[in-house]
A = this chain, B = another copy of it.
Amino acid sequence: MRSADLEEIRSLPLFRDMAPAHFAELTRGAYHQSFPPQVDLIVEGRPADFLHVITDGAVELFARWNGRETTMAVVRPVSTFILAACINDAPYLMSARTLVPSRVALIPGTDLRSVFARDPAFAQAIVRELAGSYRGVVRHAKNIKLRNSKERLAAFLIAECERNGRSRTFALPYEKRIIASYLGMTPENLSRALKQLREDGVTIDGATVDLADFDRLCAIALPGRLMDR
């Protein structure tokens, strides 16, 4: 693994405070690989062999059942995913695939569990990471169960706007069908919902969005840290 990559991973909250020897132990058996788009990194149901750390690109976490599919989250650098399955040595509950060309570090689950049992600082960091992930899914579930599709879309646009430094215009971060699936609707419906939001100052051209009336959107989505962080 390149030392620049190591630095980057090392600087993550998850690894920042652990003993240097333990970090070396973790990364010794690790791979760091580049993947083209649309590669399946993880398929749900398989045993959790590796903790994944995305260092570049974007990865979709999704789930399948009975021929249907829904995206649960989109992970961006630099962060980890499917830590819970690794720690519990349990089968993955979600699949993962690259959305764009991406680089991912793979840390063997056995090493992870071994170091985790010996390094208190690392254990603490894992707890924080897990607690954060947990709260993320809770927010997602609340979002799905409490808001209707128009409200979810408005909330999503607000969140994206803030991710881009509250700039009034910005680009959608990935394909609309992914956004639709993440928001729990069909692509057709997302299209219609976007059109419907034109009355609220939202204009769309391809992937670029313009929010003319931020407050109006807020009145629809009523964003708050209990659901939108």
Are A146 and B68 touching (Cβ within 8 A)? yes
Q: Which of A55-86 contact B (CB under 8 A)?
A: 63-66, 68-70, 72, 83-85
Interface: A47 (CB within 8 A): no
Are A144 and B146 touching (Cβ within 8 A)? no
A134 partner residues in chain B, CB cutoff 8 A: 84, 130, 133-134, 137
Chain B nearest CB from A146 CB (Å) reads: 4
Partner of A144, one of B117, B141, B224: B141
Choose, from A88-96, A160-168, A169-177, the stretch at the interface.
A88-96
Are A225 and B135 touching (Cβ within 8 A)? no
Q: Mark each residue of chain A from 138 to 157: 1 if its CB lies under 8 Å from any CB of chain B, else 0.
A: 11111011110000000000
In the A-B complex, the 10 residue pairs with the closest CB atoms = A84-B131, A123-B123, A65-B146, A130-B130, A70-B145, A137-B137, A84-B134, A134-B134, A141-B141, A88-B131
Interface on A for B, CB 8 Å cutoff?
A: 44-45, 63-66, 68-70, 72, 83-85, 87-88, 90-91, 93-94, 116-117, 120, 123-124, 126-128, 130-135, 137-142, 144-147, 184, 222, 224-227
